[in-house]
Every structure is written in structure tokens, then in C-alpha cells.
Chains A and B, each alone.
Chain A
Amino acid sequence: MNISAPDTEEALAGEVARAHAAREPLAIEGRGTKRAMLRPVQAARTLSTRNLTGITLYRPTELMIRARAGTSIPEIEAALAENNQQFVAEPPDLRVLFGADEAATLGGVVSANLSGPRRIMWGAMRDHVLGIRAVTGEGAIFRSGGRVLKNVTGLDLCKLLSGAHGTLGVLTEVTLKVLPAAEATGTLAIRVPDVATGVAALSAALGSPYGVSGAALLMEGHDALGMDGPVAIARIEDFAESVAYRLGRLRADLAAHGEISQMDGAPARSIWRAVRDAEPLGAAPEDAIWRLSVAPSEAARATESLRLAFGAKLMLDWGGGLIWVAGPAREQAHGAVMQAAAAAGGTFTLFRAPASLAASVPVLPEEPLPLAAIARRVKATLDPGGVLNPGRMRV
């Protein structure tokens, strides 16, 4: 593969400008860990941000960090940990899921708007992007946002590019809001008979005044829990005194939902790392993986239909609102996912699939026609030559 990895923003912009002039499509990536996400890009050349690295500004008391797009997530996590801080949105580490031997980059995680369990309480990755630098499809460098926590100056192109998978611009630098890492983490595990009961328990937890920062449903339990069968887990992160107090109160509130056990410290943290990275989904290497986002009360019906359709493997996060699905990489299974998402009034992503499937089906829901027309015009504005990741999201 023809990969170009400039080590300055200017050089990268120059590469894009040349590609634009030549109408030569580019596959845009960081370290390419998520190539199997969404649709395969049809491009002879790949442009990587992997050499745009380094933390450029970190002000712990201002709750902000700025790094070049190719900086690896572990590097940033390590810097934050030194100051007892963390990523707010808890982005997943998808090395196992995507069979990657490298860690993801900041640019990649933001471009895919990847958020972990903490999303339910503290917001998505895109919610914490304070500012970006990026390169348009014509090779022009631009900024949006800034470095301060509150900023509504001009159109928010940070949001537009977060989750655009490199199709509207190449991120070269990202400024994020960060928060202090919680002093303590505690988890309740509730044995539940089925998805409906599990989601009800999680809704009760999230509807409690105790600040639940993770709410997942593991269909086959988890070794660390010593439970098999469906287990709902709820997390509290706070000062140690608060975690102890709140777990106690929550445990009492949830008692009616099923048998409850409690975990603290390292085991509690490790189980949430596993949930973050979708390990309990138990996807086989050859499986396709989907993510559905629905209103939690729709989860039971949606998961049931998927189980009936193709014996889907399942894991729920975000209080039941995020359904991780694994199953055969076949159009029939994909059709069932599309149908389940539509029936639930939600949305789906074909998260990981072999090119054979991903290239032949819509990997995201179709947009209504007037919105699709706007999307084409926005794309034509930021990437008039259509050189950035063509076909990544839609045909």
C-alpha cells in the first residue's frame, strides 16, 4: 500500500492539495487500526497522521489538553494520569476487536466519535472536543473552537468533523476537555433473568440521585463477577466516602431487581475496561459487529428480534441504549439489524465487517432526502474534489 505520513501539518496539507488538484482519492487514517470499520475506502494512496505526534499544551487546572492528531491514546492517558486526570468519554481500546497491533490515535478516536461507558453520564467524545485544527479536502488548514471550556463562537465545525470519519477534513490537532480521575470506583452487579429486567434495573440506577457513571448488561455474566447468565452492572466513581455511601444506597434501592453483589477497586475498574472494549460481547474473529443506539426501553424488543433472526451475541451499555451485536457477516443478519434499529426508532452502525459485506450494504441508516441533499452540499464545501475517504460512510 502506498502510505504517506507527513510529519508536519503543512506537509500534510500539501499532500491533500496535490491530491485535490489531481482528483486522486486518499484513504485518511491515523495508524489504520479501524480500517475494518464502516465501508472500505477505494483509494490507491493512504495519507496518515501517524507522524503528527506530541502533546502541545496541557493545563491541568484549566482542564484541557491539546495534542497532535497522531498522538497515541496511551501516551495521552499516561500524561493525564500523572496529573490524576483522565479522558472524560472513556474511549474504547479496539486493538483486540480490530486485530490491530498498535494503539489508536487521538485523531482516529475523535474522527470516529468513540465513547465508552462513561458516555451515559458525562457525554460523548465529541462533547469534549474544545477545538480542532484540520485540513480541508482542498488542502486548506483551518481551526474551529479553541482551548477554553465554553465557546460558541461561529459554527461548530468541531462537532461536524467529530464522527465524520475523515470524510470532511483531516484532523491535525485536537484540544480536549479533561477531568480529574475519580478517587474511587465501585460497582454493583445484579443478576437478572432477562434483558427487560436488566434494563429496568439500569434505568432505576440511572434514575437514582447517586450519579451512576456506567450502566451495562452482560449477557453471559463475567468471570470476575462469579456470575453467569445476564448481569446488570452499575458503576459509581467519586471520592471514596461517596462511593461507599452511594453504593450502599443504590444497593438498597435496586434490591428488588435481583441478587446483588458489590465490587471495588482494581476488579471494578478492570470489568469496566472490558465493557469499554466490548470484550464481554464475545465476538468471534469472523463475526461482523454492529452497534445500535436506541432508547433503553426499546432494547429488550430489539435484542430479542436479533436473537431470533441470527442468534446474535449481545452486550448492552449506556443503560441499555447502546446495543453491541455480533453475528455472521451476512446480509440476512445485517438486514435484521437494520430492521431492529428502525423498529426501535434508533440508529445502527456496521462497526466491523469484512469488505465483502461492508461494501454491499448501507453501513449507516439512510438519511432523509432533504438531509442527504444538505450532506452532499456540505461535503462539496469541505471536500469539493471528493478526495477524502471516498465511500467510507456511504456509497
Chain B
Amino acid sequence: MISLPAPKPEVLARRDAILADLARLLPADAVIGETLRLRPYETDGLSAYRQIPLAVVLPRTTQEVASVLRYCNANGIRVVPRGAGTSLSGGALPLADAVVIGLMRMNRIREINLEDRYAIVEAGVTNIGITKAVEGDGFFYAPDPSSQLACMIGGNVMMNSGGAHCLKYGVTANNLLGLTFVTIEGEIIEIGGRHLDSAGYDWLGLITGSEGQLGMVTEVTVRILRGPEGARAMLAAFDSVEVAGAAVDAIIGSGIIPVALEFMDKPCIHACEAFAHAGYPLDAEAMLIIEVEGSIAEQDMLLDRIRGICARFKPTSMKVAESAEQSAAIWKGRKGAFGAVGRISPDYLCMDGTIPTGELPHVLKRIGEMSVQYGLAVANVFHAGDGNLHPLIMFDANDAESFHKAEAFGADILTLCVEVGGCLTGEHGVGVEKRDLMTKQFTAPELDLQRAVKSAFDPEWLLNTAKVFPLAGNPKIAA
């Protein structure tokens, strides 16, 4: 079980006064303080970890966010930023002495500029909401995490979210132009703008993916791209995970970069098919979803080449989507994969390590062995093109032992990822979940250096404390 820092007794003692102060800073309906109302905020997409916060505030403007941060800074109160609460790494897990600042009410689209190809949106606009706002004109916002329906752009920025299509289009960091950034002191700073590559230090790049350690983001200027003429997905099924992995290598090696290249193993295929009815091959041990873009003729040309490559690996079946609806169904299954596993197991832990793609067969084999060793089932679904794995470890949260085993299994998988040259997290963030594994990937001086950079932004360690860095070694924190 994860340990959280000891709450500051002086903050807990002043709870009522703090709530009263917050109520003066914000409209009445924006401050939540009663325990019953706070409870639904005790967790996020990683519901195994829970902690009721001191208070939740739901500001509507950057000024309100700034005034809450200024107040918390002046009073030594910890702050936990929250978007849609879909984090799979516990990025929005509260602390008992912290004020959760939820950005869900900041959901306005400020400006759309098709000529200069950007959109300015508030942090609480959902990822898909940006695309919805511009798709009528043929544009889209490229990063597409599986939770894109619900997750908010502010959270995407903080976690540097990826998605199935980032093999071609890049992750969040590669698709931003500017941020409205609020420091713990309550200073509002415009980072970047409507142009590419600001001169000077790359604050935009540093803040993106900083998991709320450096400040809060209230508005985001994203690049929007014109969509391709069309896109089509195909399925290729194989009778072993190793063979499917080899087919991935062959496709990339051929010089084709499909816009998406996704992998699912048998348990995952079954769970997703039950949800999406996409015609997934239920007899296969492993399946690839491969998507290409362009005109119909271009799609045909690329799919022909890919089919030719896959054919060398004796697929058990191959199927090209015949309509936009079929493509949509194929993606519905993939994007609902995590939740769909809820149909076959009451609970799961979703891992997010990345490995060099050449290590795929070895790593998948080891995960299979560990699954037997721990006696816990695992479903694998991941972004094969970039080696970003999402093993879903199934367990029963009503059984404490099962959960502890799942945690240990997860740690073993991530350690393996690091050992083969990969990393702990490809897109979900370290959060609270992988915090204590950071020592597997970084040396103590390396972690101290990162801590020092955080301290430059947040000297008192009030921002999303207890995430990213192992507690031991953090300044200003009593474990």
C-alpha cells in the first residue's frame, strides 16, 4: 500500500477557518467542505488508492485559480490539481490536508483559428471536445488518449498524454503552442503563444508532463491539424503474441509508419468484443489493429503492402474495415479496452511501461510467466508501434491479498521494462502509483536534480505533494 505524507496538523486544525476563507475567495457553490460531499473526490481512475481531501474548490476562471493558489501558498496549504479525474496513476489522489482544485467548470472554448491552425481552450475542455469543435471544418486535435471522451486538456498537459495515433502525430507536448500557467504564488504567466518554438528556455516542454509539480494550467493553446482525406483500420490476427510482435517490427522496418499500430492479446480481445461488437477474431492469440490514412486509393495501396508483410507471418485472419462504421467499431473496442476488462474482472491495475519494441516477445513471455507465478490473470493491450505496454492485471479489490499481489506483480513488470532499456511510464504519468519505483529508473542524484527543479517552482512543496518523487528524500515532507 502506498504511503502518504503526514498531514500538517496546523492545517487540519484550521480546517473550518480555511473553508471560510475559501468561501470568501470563490462563489458559494464553488467550495465543498462536508465529508459526505468530499467522498466522491477521494479517488480518480485508480480507485485502489483513496483519501478524502480537506476541501474541493471548483473555480470558473484563471483569476479564481490564482487567488486560491495565492491563499494556499500564503498559508502553507497543499494543493492537488484535478481535471476529469481519469488518471490511471493516481495523479489526482487527494491528501488529507490538501485543497483539491478541480478544473471541470473551466470548459469554455476561447478561440478557434483555422487559418493559423490553433485553438485556445480552457483546461476543463475534454480532449474530444476540441476535435468536436473543429471537425466540422475537417480539423482535429491529434493526441487521443483512450479516455479522450472524458479526460480534460489540462490533465493531458500535466501528464503529457499520448494515445493510439501518436505514432504519427506525437504526444501532447508536440501539439501545444501556449499555456496560461499559474504559479503557486498565484502569478499568472503566459507561456508560448500562438506561434511555434518560443525563444529562450522551453518552459512549455518542461511544464508539459510535470504532473502538477510546477504549477497549474488553466488555458491551453493547441495546434489543430487538418484531418486526412480518410482513414481505414485493418485487423490482423496471429496464433502467438511473439509472431504478432515480429510482424510489428517488420511493418516499421519496411518504412511504413501506420498512423496507429495497436496490439491486443486474447483476454483483451474477448472483453473488448463483448463491448464493441467489432468483429474481433475470438480465436486469435494476438491481434493487431493497423490504421492508415489518405485517399481510398492510398489506403488500398498501404493496406496492400501491410497485408503483404503480415502474410509472411502466417496470420490466422486478416480483415480490412469496409466502412467508416466498421473502423469506428474497431476503435470503440480499443478505446474502451480498459473499462471493458471491468466485464471480466471486478478490478484491474493498468500498467504503462514502455520497452524497446525489439524486446516485445521477451517481455510478453515474462509477463505471462509472472501471471502464473502470481496467480493473477493479465490482459495485454498496447501501442505496439512505440512499445508502450498496457498490461491489465486483474484482481479483486474486496480481497486485500489479491490487491497486494497485483501491486507486486505490477512493480515486477515495470522493473522489467526498465531493465530491458525502457521506462516506467509512457503516457499515464508516475502519479502516486509508480512513485516508489522511480529509484529503479533514476539514481539518487538524478532524482535530487529533478526535485531541485521542482523546488525552483514550488519551494515549499505544496503542489501535488506525494506524487512523482519517492517520499524519502523529498524536502518539506514528513512521511
Interface residues of A (CB under 8 A from B): 59-64, 84, 113, 115, 119-120, 123-124, 126-127, 136, 140, 142-144, 146-160, 162-164, 168, 179-181, 183, 200, 203, 206-211, 239, 241-242, 245, 293-297, 318, 321-322, 344-349, 364-365, 367-368, 370-371, 374-375, 377-378, 380-382, 393
Contact = CB atoms under 8 A, between A and B. Distances in A.
Contacts of B424: 153
Contact of B228 (A156, A158, A211, A296): A211
B73 interface: no
Contact of B423 (A126, A146, A241): A146
A294 B428 CA distance: 32
B195 A347 contact: yes
A347 B424 CA distance: 36
Contact of B455 (A156, A381, A382): A381
A371 to B, nearest CB: 5
Contacts of A119: 196-197
Given A61-B249, A150-B162, A156 B229 contact: no
B295 to A, nearest CB: 7
B199 A152 contact: no
Question: Interface majority SS on B: helix, strand, loop or mixed?
Answer: loop
A393 B306 CA distance: 48
Nearest to B414: A153
A346 B193 contact: yes
A297 B438 CA distance: 45
Contacts of A146: 421-423, 441
Contacts of B170: 123, 127
A148 B190 CA distance: 31
Contact of A381 (B210, B385, B453): B453
B450 A157 contact: yes
Nearest to A122: B170
Contact of A370 (B139, B173, B187, B193): B187
A203 B200 contact: no
B243 interface: no
A143 B429 CA distance: 18
Interface stretch (B3-11, B316-324, B354-362): B354-362
A393 B200 contact: yes
Contacts of B160: 152, 156
B66 to A, nearest CB: 11
A123 B298 contact: no
A347 B387 contact: no
Interface stretch (B52-60, B109-117, B270-278): B109-117
A371 B189 contact: yes
Contacts of B228: 209, 211
Interface string B422-436: 111111111000100
A293 B195 contact: yes
A162 B214 CA distance: 19
Given A160-B206, A381-B453, 10 more contacts: A61-B249, A148-B355, A152-B427, A156-B209, A179-B257, A207-B139, A211-B228, A241-B301, A365-B199, A370-B183
Contacts of B421: 146-148
A350 to B, nearest CB: 9
B202 A154 contact: no
A378 B298 contact: no
A142 to B, nearest CB: 5
B101 interface: no
A382 B447 CA distance: 13
Contacts of B126: none
Contacts of A61: 249, 252-253, 357-358
A136 B356 CA distance: 28
B295 A347 contact: no
Contact of A378 (B354, B357, B441, B453): B453
B200 A364 contact: yes
Given A160-B201, A242-B298, A152 B255 contact: no
A143 B418 CA distance: 14
A173 to B, nearest CB: 14
A155 to B, nearest CB: 5
B13 to A, nearest CB: 31
B457 interface: yes
Given A146-B421, A148-B386, A160-B206, A377 B456 contact: yes
B62 interface: no
A157 B257 contact: no
A345 B190 CA distance: 11
Contacts of B197: 113, 115, 119, 124, 163, 293, 347
B426 to A, nearest CB: 4
A59 B358 contact: yes
Nearest to A242: B298
Given A63-B252, A318-B196, A148 B118 contact: no
B297 interface: yes
Nearest to A155: B450
B332 interface: no
A124 B187 contact: no
A209 B227 contact: yes
A243 B203 CA distance: 37
Nearest to B440: A153
Contact of A148 (B116, B387, B447): B387
A153 B441 contact: yes
B453 A160 contact: yes
Nearest to A371: B189
B87 interface: no
Contact of A154 (B118, B438, B445): B438
A313 to B, nearest CB: 20
B213 interface: yes
A241 B298 contact: yes
8 contacts: A123-B170, A142-B443, A142-B445, A143-B446, A148-B388, A154-B468, A241-B298, A293-B195
B159 interface: yes
A181 B194 CA distance: 30
Interface string B253-265: 1011100000000
Contacts of B425: 151-153
A206 B117 contact: yes
A152 B209 contact: yes
A175 B228 CA distance: 30
A36 B455 CA distance: 34
B196 A154 contact: no
A127 B457 CA distance: 23
Given A156-B209, A347-B199, A378-B201, A245 B116 contact: no
Interface in B371-413: 383, 385-388
Given A153-B423, A346-B195, A378-B201, A297 B116 contact: yes
Nearest to A167: B201
Most A CB atoms within 10 A — which of B354, B358, B425? B354
A209 B294 CA distance: 8
A240 B226 CA distance: 22
